[in-house]
Amino acid sequence: MRYLVILLAVLLSAGCQKKSTKSAENKLTAVASNFAIYDFARVIGGDRAEVTLLLPPGVESHSYEPTPQDMIKVKSADLLLCIGLVVEPWVESLVKGAELPADRVVETGRAVQFLTQEQDEHEGESHEPVEKVDEHASCSHSKPAEKVDEHASCSHSKPAEKVDEHASCAHSKPVQSSCAHTEKEKATCEHSEPQSAHANCEHSGPAVPAKTIGPVEGGDPHIWIDPIRAMLMVEEIATKFIEIDSAGAKEYRQRADSLKQEINNLHSRLDSTLHAVPNKTIMYAGHFAFGYFVDRYDLEHISPYSSFSPNSEPTPAKIAELISTIKTKKIKAIYYEELVEPRVAKIITEETGAEMLLLHGIHNVGTTELAGTFSYLSGMEANRVALAKGLAQ
């Protein structure tokens, strides 16, 4: 009881000291629920923002339980940056406990198309070839957006408004797409190639429900693994930073545009690499966080885990099935996840001789990585190299 009284007093004190836009050091303050968001925010914020990662270094994000100190951090900060409360239960409980107003919570997945577990599973199955997504769909404009008019053929639910030239797509030629977008989706309009007049914004194969815009209960939270969706997250963060610190608007915008261009370059490299590899199936010995990734790059995956849920566990039968598949197809690499003892991958390696390769989900990082130069871009580039090696065999 005494502990609760002390905690309440600290929270009330933090709330009383809270300023509307800036901290005492005259910097925007934000706390992030995972490393990818933290990395985006610190790049966008530069020296005008102080960004803190809620997860301690080396802690696996799915099993993390927030502490009273986390609640104090959230209460004291200008903003809490997350994927979406409904897909991050521990963050939702933190927000409720801190009684955080809605305008201080930034759901970076607000404009993102979410997949559910059922859709994730479907994306990993073989399906008919789909038309290729324009790899330039979300890069920044080198010229004013109105010169391109890439939205001319899109059907919107609201009257057309001016397109944000900092967030919209750059195309080498006008896109003749009949895809329907929500108003927010215009920011990174994802088009199919011009020759496909009937193409949907994103292909999900036959008999799969339309993907949902914004966080949805049961949705896969790992949206940052897809570079195109990551650019939408960057835009959400930049927009909120500009809203509460308009004096830094030019700096935030420049850094956000530069970051989106770098992510788009990463996407182009990934697209080129994964198009060229002969093997299109990722053998993964962990909780598969790459559903959006295989969806984006038209890959398949096999894992002994039933889903991306941290509560799922592999059965001996599933492990045996994966071992048999690797032996039959003469697969030379098995991928494993970060910050978790790769016991399943080790078993598979012992049985098959397949090389163990890390495929980093960028949920969180260790102490050395956090203190060093590791970033979303460097982590995803390392993934590209690992996939080029493992899928080339």
Residue 253 tokens read as 């915008």
Cα 374 to its chain centre, rounded Å, is 16
Terminal C-alpha separation, the chain: 61
Asked whether the beta carbons of 299 and 274 are under 8 A apart, the reply is yes
**Separation CA 34–CA 82 (nearest Å):** 7
Asked whether the beta carbons of 81 and 50 are under 8 A apart, the reply is no
Cα 157 to its chain centre, rounded Å, is 26
Q: Running DSSP on this structure, what letter comes out for residue 219?
A: B
Supply angle C-alpha 309, 315, 321, rounded to 5. 110
Asked whether the beta carbons of 356 and 385 are under 8 A apart, the reply is no
Domains and CATH numbers, the chain: 2-107+224-265 (3.40.50.1980), 131-202 (no CATH), 272-390 (3.40.50.1980)
pLDDT tens per residue across all 393 residues of the chain:
443 333 444 444 444 444 444 544 589 999 999 999 999 999 999 999 999 999 999 887 777 888 899 999 999 999 999 999 999 999 999 999 999 999 999 999 999 999 986 655 544 443 333 333 343 344 444 333 333 343 333 333 333 333 344 443 433 333 333 333 343 443 444 433 333 333 333 333 333 345 669 999 889 999 999 999 999 999 999 999 999 999 999 999 999 999 999 999 999 999 999 999 999 999 999 888 899 999 999 999 998 886 665 556 788 899 999 999 999 999 999 999 998 889 999 999 999 999 999 999 999 999 999 999 999 999 999 999 999 999 997
The 10 Å Cβ neighbour count of residue 167 is 27
